[in-house]
Amino acid sequence: MTKLYAVYGASGCGRSLMPVARQQLVRAQDASEIVFIDDSLAEITRVNGHRAMNYTTFLDETADEKAVQIAIANSRVREKIANRLEADGIQLWSIMADNVVLMDQIELAAGAALSPFVSITSNIKIGKCFHANLYSYVEHDCVIGDFVTFAPGVKCNGNIHIEDHAYIGAGAMIKQGTPDQPLVIGRGAVVGMGAVVTKSVPTGVTVVGNPARIVESK
Ligand SMILES: CC(C)(COP(=O)(O)OP(=O)(O)OC[C@H]1O[C@@H](n2cnc3c(N)ncnc32)[C@H](O)[C@@H]1OP(=O)(O)O)[C@@H](O)C(=O)NCCC(=O)NCCS
């Protein structure tokens, strides 16, 4: 059976995740090819040693099974592509680096990308297409929605709920909640790099600073 894997996106995010994708296949002793998909490409080219092509060309490639990691930081774009892949019968592909630490009772939905040095501890539920960049961690009893993005070094402590499409910037630190009262990061909220989040963040707002405060849009 032939399999073809792809990393969707050949910009910074995709080129950082391709080595993670390669590690994933080496661990699985799977010698299949991994290509880049990038819709700005008119013809097949090479990026960092891999064939790169647009989505239409990828669909025309012959393989019994195709699986795609959507390596695009913008979660709305990630969702749109995930829906298109589903409609075309192509699997979402989860990848993780060799040194990722996964502890007990973790439910991780399809399409995740866990970069080097990510740790996910115990009793944690994570939705579709989660991106956890370098050195991020998720502590016990967290619930993370679909299409959530962690930039490098995010510290997500225990009993935190993060709703769909939230974006957590580099080095942000989120205070733990309690089992009765989890700290909630609302749907589509943005936490700025370096923020220290001490209480729940409403849906759709941006917070920055220590302690994190809502930034009014100009
Ligand atoms: C919070 C954030 C989303 C705001 O972006 P933006 O809307 O483009 O905002 P601006 O850059 O116009 O900044 C608006 C103001 O907030 C300040 N600000 C921006 N980000 C800040 C942060 N993380 N902490 C504190 N202040 C911040 C700016 O200095 C500016 O202040 P001023 O009005 O006094 O000049 C962005 O700065 C951020 O932190 N993004 C995450 C970046 C990241 O983690 N990248 C990782 C890539 S892998």
Predicted confidence (pLDDT) per residue in 109-165, tens digit: 999 999 999 999 999 999 999 999 999 999 999 999 999 999 999 999 999 999 999
Q: Choose between 77 and 218: higher pLDDT.
A: 77
**Cβ of 215 less than 6 Å from ligand 1:** yes
Predicted confidence (pLDDT) per residue in 194-211, tens digit: 999 999 999 999 999 999
Residue ranges, CATH 3.40.50.20, the chain: 3-93
**Cβ of 14 less than 6 Å from ligand 1:** no
Query: Does domain 3-93 sit in CATH 3.40.50.20?
Result: yes
Nearest to 174 by CA among 160, 190, 189: 160
**Cβ of 71 less than 6 Å from ligand 1:** no
Q: How far apart are CA 66 and CA 89, in angstroms?
A: 9
pLDDT of 216 reads 83
Q: Is 32 helix (H, G, I), strand (E, B) or coil?
A: coil
Q: Which CATH superfamily is domain 96-208 in?
A: Hexapeptide repeat proteins (2.160.10.10)
Residue ranges, CATH 2.160.10.10, the chain: 96-208
The residue whose CA is least distant from atom 34 of ligand 1 is 215
